[in-house]
Structure 1
Amino acid sequence: ADARAVPEGGFGESIVGSVIDVVYNNGDEFRMKITSYLSDVRWYATSSAGYSDWDGEVFEDTLDVSQMFLNGQIVFVPEAELEKPARRKSSASGRGRGRPGRGLRGR
């Protein structure tokens, strides 16, 4: 079976509360928590609070987690790894330009 398989119809509400490592299209990486499921569009609200920051600030984003997972841009963080420091890698070109890219909106 494909390790990148998404359940038919997406993950749904079952992943709300999960912590994920997100790699945005510009290469920036952030650890975030999935805070809610937007069932009408099948996207997820996420927050970096307690995990990562963008130029010193906590931020929220709305992501197409299913598609980004299939693209290899999202990894679900096992609970055992949550004790480790949060990840945050930013490309130098992305700094100072506001928040990270918005998931796959700009495709």
Structure 2
Amino acid sequence: MIERKCTYCGNPVIPREAKHKFCSDDCRIGFYAEERREAVARLRQEREASTYFEHAQADAAPGGRFANAAPLHVTRAEPSVPLTAPDWSRAMASMPDEPPLNEDVNWLPDMTVVER
């Protein structure tokens, strides 16, 4: 047979069959893994957005729906009336701690050894 170059690394290869293109299994696996990565990257660029996050990114990207939107302007950064906690919330904060439910972890049986 005629000597060829490995499709992946370029080393000389003497193929055992006419269809052999690689010098080793590592080169074959590496070549197809790289081909798969490139195909997935192309697919992700070409396909439409499928999640909410991808839709939002596409809308904000140059040429997207909101590409020419004016920047947001905040007119008032503080609330006009100071917000206070409701009475029921303050009452809950001043309640005493609940007593334990008569369970103490220290007296529970040791479960590290399981007998069969």
Of structures 1 and 2, the one with the larger relative CO (CA 8 A, separation 6+) is: 1
TM-score w.r.t. structure 2 length? 0.14
More strand by share: 1
